[in-house]
Chains A and B, each alone.
Chain A
Amino acid sequence: MTAPIDSLAKVCGDVRAAGPEDGVLGAVPRLVAAPATVAEAAEVMRAAAELGLAVVPRGMETRLDWGLPPERCDLLVDTARLDRIVEHEAGDLVVKAEAGVRLGDLAAALAEHGQRLALDSPLPGATVGGTVATGSAGPLRLLYGSPRDLVIGLTIVRADGRIARSGGKVVKNVAGYDLGRLFAGSWGTLGLIVEATFRLHPMPAAAAYVSTVVPDPAAAHEAVQSVLHSPVAPSAVECAATPDGIAVGALLEGVPDGVTARSGQVNDLFGGGARVEQEPPAWWGGYPDGTTLIEITAPPTALAHADWLTGSATWSAAGRGLLGLPGDLTPERAAETLEGLRAALAPHKGGAVVRYAPEPVRDALDVWGPVPALSLMRRVKDQFDPERRLSPGRFVGGI
């Protein structure tokens, strides 16, 4: 009788028994496999299918503790060795990278050619695969969007171990379904992301952060609206609660003369006296303090009534907010806070999702809130993973 570890070892050079440090929100896998190539990843997934193993992918663990714990976790597929930049044709402004490539390394390679992937990476070490799987983005979302908007081609390994591609390496392409958008933010529940191709942007020659501090959300809203409806074309507009009030800032990117002129315009819109800096202010684009992180989605005008914008909470003009709850909050109070927030956001058609929380808090909460079209999502999941072996239970509605 062949042990699963041996079956896997036959197809993958790096397979080992898992230890407690490999746990995903308390679910400790039996095995960890780290395939070095796409083909090897496919073999690992095929073996897992044959053995009926529940699989959870892992990158650099920057967001592994987000979402819900997997119901089952037999095999952790570690993408650390899938770390090649497969193709970078600078003239085409396109890069293809394996899932384990860290965004920081990718950025360094692209910078040599004066290019960048216009995605913020607030958590150092985050990988290509993890960023796509969690759909993460930061302040630049306002102008450039999130992974769904920047992935132009995706290679995945399906639950049955087959390799499937969608999209390609050209930006303009409408051949077939865009699985890149479907997989962006799918949390490992549809398949294993092994390669992604991104569209790139030229690195701007100059950048300036223009910021001011206002007393309350209503004033912040006014400041943000004035910039959004002006022709200064900011790359990002951010707000953050600070001890002095609400900081509001705009990021302007372009040619040096243009950035100088536009900084002046934003300063005027802010009523003068704004700070203009080359580097981001300390509060820019980070995650708030706290042991529970809530991510808010709402249209820009929801800011006017954002009473929750306190502590070290942040708001992005693209329509995202981040709120941290302190560790000493009881699970009951945390649940109340969340429900209160959802009730306040409902008139704006907004919502709130708990990204991470200590176990007792998580157990007391409805992590996802209402999910429209859930039945369609379940049906799509059933097609991709009929045996529920891919990160089971990690996602909405028990998917």
Chain B
Amino acid sequence: MSTSLARLAERFTALLGPDGVITDPVRLRTYECDGLTNHRATPGVVVLPESAEQVAAVVRACAAEGVPYVARGSGTGLSGGALPRTDGVLIVTARMRRVLEIDIPNQRAVVEPGVINLDVTRAVRADGYYFAPDPSSQQICSVGGNVAENSGGAHCLKYGFTAHHVLACEIVTPDGEITELTADGPGYDLLGVFVGAEGTLGITTKITVRLTRVPETVQTLLAAFDSIESGGTAVSAIIGAGVVPAAIEMMDALSIEAAEAAVSCGYPPGAGAVLIVELDGPDAEVAHQFAEVERLCRQAGAFEIRIAADDAARALIWRGRKSAFAAVGRISPAYLVQDGVIPRTALPRVLGRIDALSAESGVRVANVFHAGDGNLHPLVLFDDAEPGAAERAEEVSGAILDLCIEHGGSITGEHGVGVDKSRYMPRMFTDTDLDTMQMVRCGFDPAGLCNPGKVFPTPRLCGEVPGVRKGVHPLVEQGKADLF
């Protein structure tokens, strides 16, 4: 441990007590990665603060020593956003998990960052409310992590992302000050840029979330198609008809096979693709739209449609979809989960190209996706025991991202850029775009100590302001131009 880290560890022990600081190497190593295991770094020190004041004190101490720090919630991220620094401090918010206030009349709740996403819903369900962002990891991911990643989920098609459900955040700035960012106060919407900044602008210590009324009715159907193409036709038809479902999910034959192997979800045999469509809202609306969706699915060639009659049947329909990622482990020794977005209308073209990529390279790709918003989750399968297989899989996975960019999409719809995809950022954005984003970072964190090395492939030197001249303009100096 470096001397500055050793000094910090001592300081932290004084601040947080011995229970709040981890320095034992064996223990530290358990924090070496988040949900993405192919990037690992053992943190220099781990702290487990229990209050905003403690977080602020830790950040101030880091700032004084010039030591980088990274915040971590439940450690479920899939882009290495919480990858620690070996020369830095990992600030774990898992002990900041109190629901501080529930205000049903104002449809909001105030929680600490370590509170688990689903626990917010659990706390307000009896009042007929829920917290809308529902990432697949909602039973474990923290609200603080959701804020950092601007998490979505299967239902964000209709309800939006975390950014739309956070009204205010108390944050600790990289200066170690506690301040509040709000969505509708006077001044810049700093909250808007803070949410989704992947922890690079500060650490949130208190979050005011919007609560959403539980819909009167939820209706779910499962439609089986011969092919992904006909499933895609159904999706276009549903959206084209002006229906905004709560969720539209699609799985291809390979991912259905995996899900069957893992959880015996009993999807219609022989399906080349299944579509899960969920509608929610007032009874009368849902009844009408549901009939329309059913009709459109049949028209697009669905050979079997199942309608969930109750919660248990709905859970059964969703079980296959929700287990799909982990289930792929049953049909392949190893796999990469990709997360790319394309405009919905480009789905048939891009899926065709992915097929071709897979055929050319001999690398199998299972497709699971949020069809409603064009968010693809191709699962690239490989055998980690086979030399060179991981590299080939990585190549196919990267080529899929290129396809997304080529079709006007994005390199990440919900997993974030983190450390994993920062190298793809220049393919999606110009140097100026990235430089401009980093102006925000320079405003918040000129020293670049707050979760450095994430999102951006190369840091911006905050002292330099490209393109803007200082002092007297040469044209003025030469007498060729005039100043007002």
**Are any A and B Cβ atoms less than 8 Å apart in their complex?**
yes
Q: Which of B128, B239, B455 contacts A93 (CB 8 A)?
A: B239
Cβ-based interface call for A89 (8 A) = yes
- A-B contacts, 10 of them at CB < 8 A, read A164-B430, A176-B437, A179-B437, A181-B163, A203-B242, A258-B282, A262-B284, A351-B185, A372-B181, A380-B439
B369 to chain A, nearest CB (A): 11
Stretch from B113-121, B310-318, B472-480 at the A interface: B472-480
* Beta-carbon nearest neighbor of A161 in chain B: B467
Contact B345 A231 (CB under 8 A): no
Contact A172 B344 (CB under 8 A): no
Chain A residues with Cβ below 8 Å from B408 are 168-170
Q: Which of B428, B481, B483 contacts A2 (CB 8 A)?
A: B481
* Beta-carbon nearest neighbor of A171 in chain B: B373
Contact A51/B433 with A173-B412, A179-B193, A225-B105 known, Cβ cut-off 8 Å: no
Stretch from A210-218, A267-275, A283-291, A295-303 at the B interface: A295-303
Cβ-based interface call for A228 (8 A) = yes
Q: Which of A364-399 contact B (CB under 8 A)?
A: 368-369, 371-374, 376-377, 379-384, 386-387, 395-397, 399
Contact A300 B187 (CB under 8 A): no
Contact A148/B288 with A51-B483, A170-B374, A229-B213 known, Cβ cut-off 8 Å: no
Q: Which of A138-194 contact B (CB under 8 A)?
A: 145, 148-149, 156, 158-166, 168-182, 184-186, 190
Q: Which of B188, B283, B341, B475 contacts A170 (CB 8 A)?
A: B341
Cβ-based interface call for A43 (8 A) = no
A204 to chain B, nearest CB (A): 8
Q: Which of B349-390 contact A (CB under 8 A)?
A: 370, 373-375
Chain B residues with Cβ below 8 Å from A254 are 281-282, 284-285
Contact B185 A371 (CB under 8 A): yes
Q: How far is the CA of A152 from the CA of B277 in the complex (A)?
A: 24
Cβ-based interface call for A282 (8 A) = no
Q: A168-B409, A181-B193, A299-B108 are in contact. List 5 more A-B contacts (CB 8 A).
A: A1-B479, A161-B467, A174-B152, A380-B188, A383-B462
Q: Which of B160, B214, B282, B413 contacts A261 (CB 8 A)?
A: B282
Q: How far is the CA of A8 from the CA of B300 in the complex (A)?
A: 56
* Beta-carbon nearest neighbor of B164 in chain A: A149
Q: Which of B128, B343, B430, B476 contacts A89 (CB 8 A)?
A: B343
Contact A2 B413 (CB under 8 A): no
Chain B residues with Cβ below 8 Å from A395 are 187
Chain A residues with Cβ below 8 Å from B190 are 182, 373, 376-377, 380
Chain A residues with Cβ below 8 Å from B343 are 89, 91-92, 94, 169-170
* Beta-carbon nearest neighbor of B465 in chain A: A386
Q: Which of B184-238 contact A (CB under 8 A)?
A: 184-193, 195-197, 213-216, 236
Stretch from B32-40, B255-263, B440-448 at the A interface: B440-448
Contact B341 A231 (CB under 8 A): no
Q: Which of B236, B282, B410, B479 contacts A175 (CB 8 A)?
A: B410
Cβ-based interface call for A74 (8 A) = yes
Contact B106 A301 (CB under 8 A): yes
Q: Which of B240, B283, B374, B468 contacts A49 (CB 8 A)?
A: B468
Q: Which of B160, B433, B475, B479 contacts A165 (CB 8 A)?
A: B433
Q: Which of B183, B191, B409, B436 contacts A164 (CB 8 A)?
A: B436
Contact A174 B186 (CB under 8 A): no
Q: How far is the CA of A297 from the CA of B168 in the complex (A)?
A: 13
* Beta-carbon nearest neighbor of B411 in chain A: A175
Contact A383/B283 with A89-B343, A376-B173 known, Cβ cut-off 8 Å: no
B264 to chain A, nearest CB (A): 31
* Beta-carbon nearest neighbor of B341 in chain A: A170
Contact B240 A383 (CB under 8 A): no
Q: CB-CB contacts of A218-240 with B at 8 A, as 1s and 0s?
A: 00000001001111110000000
Q: CB-CB contacts of B94-135 with A at 8 A, as 1s and 0s?
A: 000000000111111000000000000000000010000000
Which range contains the number of B residues in contact with the other chain? 35 or more
Chain A residues with Cβ below 8 Å from B344 are 91-93
Q: Which of B433, B434, B444 contacts A376 (CB 8 A)?
A: B444
A376 to chain B, nearest CB (A): 6
Contact B179 A372 (CB under 8 A): yes
Q: Which of A2, A74, A93, A297 contacts B185 (CB 8 A)?
A: A297
Would you list the 9 A-B pairs with minimal beta carbon distance, nearest first? A181-B192, A202-B242, A160-B467, A231-B216, A380-B443, A164-B436, A258-B285, A258-B284, A383-B439
Chain A residues with Cβ below 8 Å from B183 are 148
B205 to chain A, nearest CB (A): 14
Number of A residues, CB within 8 Å of B: 99
Cβ-based interface call for A109 (8 A) = no
Chain A residues close to B by CB (< 8 Å) = 1-4, 7, 30, 49-53, 74, 89-94, 114, 135, 145, 148-149, 156, 158-166, 168-182, 184-186, 190, 201-205, 225, 228-233, 254-255, 257-258, 260-262, 297, 299-301, 319-320, 351, 353, 368-369, 371-374, 376-377, 379-384, 386-387, 395-397, 399
Contact A1 B480 (CB under 8 A): yes
Contact A148 B468 (CB under 8 A): no
Q: How far is the CA of A158 from the CA of B439 in the complex (A)?
A: 11
Q: How far is the CA of A166 from the CA of B242 in the complex (A)?
A: 28
Contact B163 A178 (CB under 8 A): yes
Cβ-based interface call for B249 (8 A) = no
B47 to chain A, nearest CB (A): 24
Cβ-based interface call for B5 (8 A) = no
B454 to chain A, nearest CB (A): 11
Q: How far is the CA of A186 from the CA of B465 in the complex (A)?
A: 21
Q: Which of B106, B156, B193, B466 contacts A299 (CB 8 A)?
A: B106
Best-buried of A175, A203, A368, A374 by chain B (most CB within 10 Å): A175
Chain A residues with Cβ below 8 Å from B410 are 168, 170, 172-175
Q: Which of A91, A372, A396 contacts B240 (CB 8 A)?
A: A91
A269 to chain B, nearest CB (A): 13
Cβ-based interface call for B254 (8 A) = no
Chain A residues with Cβ below 8 Å from B160 are 145, 149
Cβ-based interface call for B429 (8 A) = yes
Contact B188 A186 (CB under 8 A): yes
Contact A172/B342 with A161-B467, A177-B196, A300-B107 known, Cβ cut-off 8 Å: no
Q: How far is the CA of A204 from the CA of B282 in the complex (A)?
A: 15
Q: How far is the CA of A181 from the CA of B462 in the complex (A)?
A: 22
Cβ-based interface call for B265 (8 A) = no
Contact A177 B440 (CB under 8 A): yes
Contact B105 A177 (CB under 8 A): no
B239 to chain A, nearest CB (A): 7
Contact B188 A300 (CB under 8 A): no
Q: CB-CB contacts of B405-426 with A at 8 A, as 1s and 0s?
A: 0001111111111000100010
Chain B residues with Cβ below 8 Å from A3 are 482
Contact A384 B416 (CB under 8 A): no
Contact A257 B179 (CB under 8 A): no
* Beta-carbon nearest neighbor of A158 in chain B: B436
Chain A residues with Cβ below 8 Å from B184 are 297, 319-320
Chain A residues with Cβ below 8 Å from B345 are 89, 91-92
Contact B412 A175 (CB under 8 A): yes
B381 to chain A, nearest CB (A): 24
Q: Which of A156, A376, A387 contacts B179 (CB 8 A)?
A: A376
Chain B residues with Cβ below 8 Å from A162 are 432, 436, 467
Q: How far is the CA of A252 from the CA of B98 in the complex (A)?
A: 37
* Beta-carbon nearest neighbor of B193 in chain A: A182
Q: How far is the CA of A116 from the CA of B433 in the complex (A)?
A: 29
Cβ-based interface call for B87 (8 A) = no
Chain A residues with Cβ below 8 Å from B193 are 177-179, 181-182
Cβ-based interface call for B289 (8 A) = yes
B208 to chain A, nearest CB (A): 9
A351 to chain B, nearest CB (A): 6
Contact A373/B425 with A49-B468, A172-B156, A261-B283 known, Cβ cut-off 8 Å: no
